[in-house]
Each structure stands twice: as C-alpha cells, then as structure tokens.
Amino acid sequence: MIRMRTDLRIPARFLESVQLQIICVIERGEVMKGYSKAWLIIVFSFLTIGFVVTANAAGPPAGDADAFPPSLESYNDADVERIWAILKNRVRQVPFNLAATLIFFCAIVHTFLTSKFLAIGHKWEHEHEKKKKQGLVGKHSVHHGAELFHFLGEVEAVFGIWAIALGGCIFFFYDWHTLVNYISYRVNFTEPLFVVVIMTLASTRPILKLSETIMWKIAGLLGGTLTSWWFTILTVGPLLGSLITEPAAMTISAVLLGHKLYDLSPSEKFKYATIGLLFVNISVGGTLSHFAAPPVLMVAGPWNWGMGHMILNFGWKALVGILISNGIYYVIFRQELSQLQDAFALRSLKDRIQQKYLSHRDMEARFDKMVASVNEEMKFAETFDRQINELIENTKNRLEDGLTADHMENLIREGIDPVLAKEAFDQRFNDIKLLQMRRALPALLPEHQRPAFRDPQWDERDDPVPAWITVVHVIFMAWTIFNAHHPELFIPGMLFFLGFAQVTSPFQNRIDLKPALLVGFFLGGLVIHGGVQGWWIAPVLGNLKEIPLMVVSTVLTAFNDNAAITYLSTLVPGFTDSLKYAVVAGAVAGGGLTVIANAPNPAGQAILKKHFVNGVSPAGILAGALIPTVVVWLCYLIF
C-alpha cells in the first residue's frame, strides 16, 4: 500500500519559506539598493526549480505506480452488502476518496455555470470597450477580469482547471511521486489524443465535401428541403459513427448542421433540441459495431462482444430509437422548419449560382483585370500616393517638433547625439507609418511590404477538390481509425497529414487546431478525474438488478463519461449477460444528457457554440436530450 505523505524534507521547506519572503519583497517593492527586480526573479526561478527537485526526491520510487488509486480488492469489503456501509468504509480507509469526489462534483457544477461566467465576461468586456472610446483607459488595454471569466466560461477548460485542484489534493494526501506516477502510468490519454487527431481530419475540406456529397444524394431523394437535410444529417451522420468512429461522425454532423441549419438563425429552443438530439443519436449510433463507440469499446474485449453481437442486441434498436426521436422532434418543430425553408432555399440557390456561373476564381481574375484597367485610366494610385505622402510629411514634421520640445533637452542631458536621436526618430516614424499603412491602406504599399491577406470567406469558397486529394484524406482517416489504440502510430500519421495539407493548401481550408486541442484538454481532464471515482461507482453498479442498474447507469453517465461507467462495470465480479446488457444500454442511452456524458460531445459543442448566446448552456442540452434519451432507453428496454 502506498504511504501517505507526512511532510517534505527540510531543504524543501526552507526553499519554500525563502520563496514566500521573496514574493512579499517583490510585491511591496522592498528591494535592497543595488539589486534589481530582474535578479530577484532569476533567484526566485532557481529556488522554484530547487523546490520541485527536492519535493520530487522526497517521494517513493516509481515502482509504486500501481498502488494508487487503491484497487477495489484492497478495501476487503466484499462481504459488506449495504452500499452506504461500503462507501463509509472506503472513505474511512482512504480519506482522499471523499476529497477527490468533492472536487469532481465541483467541476460538474462549474460546467453548469459556464454560460453565467461568459455573460459576466462579455459584460465587463463591453464596458471596457466603452471606456476605451471615452479615453478613460488605454487604447490597447485589456480587462483581465473579463479575460478570466471568458476562460472560466469555456466548457472545454473546466475539467482541466479542476484537474489542477485534484493534482494538488493528491500531492497533499500523498506526495509528488504519487501524482507523477498516477498521471504517467494509471491515466490512459489514448482516447483524448485520438479525438484530437480524428476531429482535425474529419473537419478538413475534402472530408466535409465528400460527406456533404453523400448527404446531398440522400437528402435529394427526400426532396432536398431543409427538413430532408435536417433529418438526413441526424440519421445518417450518427450511423456513420459505427464505421468512422463517433468523434468523426460528430465533427461531420455538427459542421453540416451549422452550415445548413444554425446559420439560418433558428429559435434557441430549436437549437438546443437539435444539439441534444445530435448528442443522443451519436451516442447510440456507434453501437452497430464493437470498435466505434467508446463505452462499447471498453467492454468488447473483456466480454468478447463482436460486431454480430452489437448489431443483434444494440444496433437495430438504436436505429429504431433514432428514427422515432427524429420523428417526434420533426412533429414538434415542423412549423419552424417550414418557416426557415424560404431562407434555406434562397441560400441554396445562391450557392448554386455561385458554383455554376460565378466561380470564385473566375470572378477574382475578372476583378483584378478591371481594377488594373481603371487604375491605368484614372491614375488613381499615383494621385493618392502623392497626397498621402504630403499628409505623412506634414504629420512627421509636427511629431518631430513635439519631440524636440519635449525630449531633446533630456536627450542632450543624457549625452545622446541629436543627429542620432533624429535618425532614431525617423526610423521609428517609418515603422509606425508602415504599420498604419498595412492596417488601413495595404494596396498602396509595394507588394513585398504588404501584409499577408487572409480571406475571411476562404473556407466558404466553391472550388472543387481533386479526387486524389480526397482519397489521400480518406487513407489518413482509415490509418487513424485502424490504429485508434496506438498513439505512437496515429500521432506521426497526423504530423504527416499536416505536411500533406500544407503542400495541398490551395484545396484545403485553414487547419484550425484550437477546437480539437480544447476538446482533447477537456477529455484529458475528464479521464484524470474519472480514474479516482471507481471507489464509489463500482459498488453502486455491482449491487443493482437489471432495470435499476440500467436507470443508474444512465444517471451516472450524465455526471461521468459513459466509457468510464462501462469500464468500471468490467471490474465488478459476477456480472451476468443481462446485467452487462443493462449497464451498456443505460450508458449509451444517457450519452447525450450532458457535454461530459460521451467523449464526442465536446467536439460537437465546440463546433456549434458560436451559434448560441453566451455559449451552450448545459441545462439547455439536458432539456434538448431528455426526450430522445427516454425514447432510446425504452427501445433498449422493450425490444
């Protein structure tokens, strides 16, 4: 059994006290004459390194990695029947358990407060912008409180933030080595890494174009209306998850929904209903195979479940549930879908005209030719350049006069050559002039001085993607999916893909890694927390019959990743086939209730959150997912 931490070694305590004294000195400005703040920072940094090294040396050897968290067998409570007695015994033996779970529930509460934090951040930012316009604060100043609340309002950052608190808790109850060993050896980051890679690949232009073409063919058979697109994306997209994995299906479906529906500004109620329905459908849509849905993947090996077993026991029931749920929401929102149809038809017609008759490249070439012709006839550039040079010279003279009046006496007193000072002024003025010209009038600069132009509509262009590029993208995705459990293979594949994307950049959208990395950060924090929750989840699951187990599995999924729920169920001895079915059915049915319930949910939330005021509300997701969750749950129970 791993030992609890008693105290640090004396050198570490000494270093810590010295650090605190230096911090106080820096904050009060009580620095001895002859010493600069820079030197204090350097000394502080070295002391910090010494503190970490000393604390690191104080822990147990890395060979004790398996001792934390304690195994379920180590509690020796197999003969205890009452759940409450089991939990009390485990908290008594390991007080850390209670602290870790309290931190976990604080993180869950935080997820429900993110929209409030964003609202506060937006309010403070708006007030700060007003002060800028009034000249009350600096033009380039930042309201740090607003930035802090924007950060706290990012759902993807929540579990990462609270993972810091959990790390501190482990260090307090145990020691540094225990924390390092837990993160390094006990927490499996393969799934977060996989989601980052597959989300990046699935959101590329060739894959989205291919997916959109497939959806367009199916939606066309249903009439090509907004309703047919909505129904197709929410049916075919989730079912694709059984083949291309749920994170990839979530990314593709969320992007297409954003373009086809959310860009039309539907009501908030319809937005939340659609995202809740998407989350539930994705969670159950991956159950036609044994490798695509994370909660199924956790049990497929230990319980010997193959694709045939999944289709016969889960897959067809999931399809029935998806169709019924989509039908119910269609009946509820059919009037709004009809109202949005005109805007959808107008946008579709616009896209068709642009693609067929007004292609981006053709219009750009014609416009460049026209501008050159007009400039040649009117001598616009030469006239404007002459006038702007006169304005700049006048501005320069005024600034130079101000510099002479305000600073020249000080420069001479400091022994600086006036000629050198004027040369420095000219160089600084030219830098500012170039900055302002790049910002306001880049076209009047020589081509080598112009800033790189970033077309805001680049990702919306209509240029076709060569078939061979699409094939290569599909191969990259296939490589990642086939090696989903081997990050040492799919991460190098990702690096090769980034190189390929750079080479073929004219046919790519901008590769934005931020959403994927934020989702990976979210899932990484979640698995860190989930690894120390087994002490209470396992006994809860192991002491229930089929229907109560299915209910509890669904409820627990709302507060923990459903893959963690099913994984912990594999540790419970004596699980019958009916109990196995109940826990997995409940876990996948509840996978849309919250953003943390299923690994792909943060990806969909990250893609669609820009369409919601103050971000996506967890309560809104819960309300939107409730009906389809009940429908799918009943399908698994009745059929």
Averages of pLDDT over runs of 10 residues in the chain (639 residues) are 46 47 46 46 51 48 65 86 90 94 90 85 90 85 90 85 94 93 90 85 86 87 92 94 86 91 94 96 92 83 88 95 97 95 86 64 66 62 67 66 61 70 72 70 66 63 85 93 90 94 89 83 85 85 88 88 81 83 95 89 89 86 96 95
In this predicted structure, what is the pLDDT of residue 48? 52
In this predicted structure, what is the pLDDT of residue 484? 84
What backbone phi and psi angles, to 5 degrees, belong to 463?
-65, 140
In this predicted structure, what is the pLDDT of residue 199? 80
Residue type, position 11, single letter? P
CA 301, CA 182: separation in Å to the nearest integer? 24
In this predicted structure, what is the pLDDT of residue 8? 42
Helix 534-542 crosses helix 83-93 at what angle (to 10 degrees)?
Answer: 160
Per-residue tokens: 232: 């197709």
Q: What count of other Cβ atoms lies within 10 Å of the Cβ of residue 396?
A: 16
Helix ranges restricted to H, 261-359:
268-285, 294-303, 307-310, 316-356
In this predicted structure, what is the pLDDT of residue 191? 81
Q: What count of other Cβ atoms lies within 10 Å of the Cβ of residue 594?
A: 23
Q: What count of other Cβ atoms lies within 10 Å of the Cβ of residue 71?
A: 12
CA 180, CA 186: separation in Å to the nearest integer? 10
Helix ranges restricted to H, 483-575:
487-503, 514-530, 534-542, 546-559, 562-569
Quote the pTM value: 0.71
In this predicted structure, what is the pLDDT of residue 590? 95
CA 606, CA 515: separation in Å to the nearest integer? 6
Cβ atoms of 68 and 531 within 8 Å: the answer is no
Q: What angle do CA 121, 529, 8 make, to 5 degrees?
A: 100
Cβ atoms of 90 and 122 within 8 Å: the answer is no
CA 639, CA 637: separation in Å to the nearest integer? 6
Burial of 488 per CB tally in 10 Å (0-12, 13-18, 19+): exposed
In this predicted structure, what is the pLDDT of residue 585? 96
